[in-house]
Structure 1
Amino acid sequence: MAKRMDPAGAWAAYRSGHEALRGWLGELAPEHWTGPSVLPGWTVADLAAHIALVADSVTATAAASRGVAAHSLSEYLTTYAAAAAGLSDLTLAIAREAGHDKDRILAAVDERFAAAHATVDERGLDDVVLTTRRIPARQGDYLLTRVIEIAVHADDLARSVPSVPPPTIPRDTARLAVRTLLDVLADRAPGRSVEVRVAPFAAVQCIEGPRHTRGTPPNTVDLTPALWLRLAAGRVTWADELAAGTVLASGQRADLSAHLPLF
């Protein structure tokens, strides 16, 4: 994995991404909130309510007792599948409590982000081990998961309301989400036979096999940032995107299907 993440940098990227997405939601006309989102069974209002839960999860963390070992970010992401049903229930409860009303959902988003901010301010931004709702993780790694959540859900919301301009997520937020998930891929599929490139943000080499030492690698995958986030999060499949021509893959080993989604 990449070097340990500075919690201050991760928190700044999450905070700025959250603020940008909150601003976009505030401008989104109420009639869009009742429509379906790209997430099965969720409306746009439900997806907006999930932004409150992303912040609420920060408030639920605490400094771990001395001697508690942290899991890696990659290990933390593996817990998402088992937690999905519970997260859905918590999200829908927020939306239901707010009556699926735009102003009340945004009030919940603001209240829970303010509580998250207070939690971080009180604890400080040292890279301590945290207890979370799932497994212990270092504060820098945990806050990176919030960055990923904001980047992925901003894209979910953009695709859910294609008739309006998409949210403009800060470059640092998008870059950090993309780079972090590329590092997870390299951690789970170590090797140097394939180069995965997500311009303009980052590239990694992965997958066992013959490695290249100079010139253009024989096995390459080129993706846009949005497509990489969708593949990593399981929003789309490798096979479908390859068939559609949105994935540019060259070489016999340039196949990521066995390693996706990442969470």
Structure 2
Amino acid sequence: MTDLPSLVADLRSEHESLDSVVADLPAEGWTRPTASPGWSVADQIGHLTYFDGTATLAITAPDRFQASFEQLLGAGDQVDELTLFRSLGPDGLLEKWRENRAGLLDAAGRLEDAQRIPWYGPSMGAKSFLTARLMECWAHGTDVVDAVGGHRPATGRLRHIAQLGYITRGWTYANRSEEMPAGEVRVELEGPDGGTWAFGPDDAPATVRGPAEHFCLVVTQRRHLDDTDLVVEGDIALDWMAKAQAYAGSPTEGPAPRGAR
């Protein structure tokens, strides 16, 4: 099982991997549209900047986090103006993102295993909280990489996201106010290093098999199942993969197959 220091180190590496994609982007690159409707590359980084900042507050100053949460709830149609730092140019935004994520990593380094952190919904255990931040960086980073044609190799850090994707199967249905279909799903993934990552009972009646990166893209709603090499067997697994949502927030629909756009 991953310990907290290793998870903090992996979160730092995920930040740095995305930083290497955007650090030398020309101004035009920051304005390119991404898969999130109405969001540019800069908006994706702005989103990470804001929530890395509130994540730091959640760890270090829960009362201030709650105040920021209430401000967010009251923002209405001004949410993007509050959370995306659109008044900053590329250099200023990059500096602010680096500042906020450094603050998060510093706070994360003082977390204890049993600690729970308030968030936008139920509180979270320390490891789950940091895994969610890593997933957010990777998922929004995927939108950035797709938009600018950048390169970000798959790494063993995907295991954190794959495990989160597996354990949030129940959340996917609860978030939609649906009853989760009965039965277990076995997930067997090919890690970037050639190893196998397996989740769920060996004798499960339904399975998901294929590249770990592709599974992570589906559960973070960055790719439609049809655009991956995943092999899905069993109705309950197919239903899950059609709805999978490993992140908090209102239920959302994943992208359409690329051939249908």
Calculate the TM-score normalised by the size of structure 2.
Answer: 0.70
What CA RMSD, in Å, does the superposition of the two structures yield over aligned residues?
3.5
Q: Which runs of 5+ in 1 are unaligned?
A: 66-81
The answer to whether the aligner puts 1:111 opposite 2:99 as a matched pair is yes
Cα pair 1:57 1:133 within 8 Å, conserved:
no
Q: C-alpha distance in 2, partners of 1:96/1:197?
A: 41
Moved more, 147-156 or 250-259: 250-259
Cα pair 1:223 1:247 within 8 Å, conserved:
yes
Q: Which runs of 5+ in 2 are unaligned?
A: 63-71, 173-179, 248-261
- Give SS of 2:35's match: coil
Moved more, 17-26 or 132-141: 132-141
- Give SS of 1:137's match: strand
Counterpart position of 1:22: 19
Cα pair 1:7 1:126 within 8 Å, conserved:
yes
Equivalent residue in structure 2 for 1:229, among 200, 212, 216:
216
Quick one: structure 1 residues 176 and 262, their matched pair in 2 at CA, closer, same or farther if it must change by over 3 Å? closer
- Give SS of 1:27's match: coil
The answer to whether the aligner puts 1:262 opposite 2:246 as a matched pair is yes
Task: Tell me: higher relative CO, structure 1 or 2? Use CA pairs within 8 A at least 6 residues apart.
Answer: 1
Shift of 1:203: 2.3
Shift of 1:117: 3.0
Quick one: structure 1 residues 125 and 197, their matched pair in 2 at CA, closer, same or farther if it must change by over 3 Å? same
- Give SS of 1:234's match: coil
Quick one: structure 1 residues 193 and 138, their matched pair in 2 at CA, closer, same or farther if it must change by over 3 Å? closer
Equivalent residue in structure 2 for 1:198, among 170, 189, 202:
189
Calculate the TM-score normalised by the size of structure 1.
Answer: 0.70
Cα pair 1:197 1:204 within 8 Å, conserved:
yes
Cα pair 2:52 2:104 within 8 Å, conserved:
yes
Q: C-alpha distance in 2, partners of 1:134/1:37?
A: 27
Shift of 1:106: 0.3
Shift of 1:55: 1.8
Q: Percent identity?
A: 22
Counterpart position of 1:71: none
Q: C-alpha distance in 2, partners of 1:253/1:233?
A: 18
Cα pair 2:58 2:117 within 8 Å, conserved:
yes
Report the residue type matching 1:248 in the other structure.
Answer: V
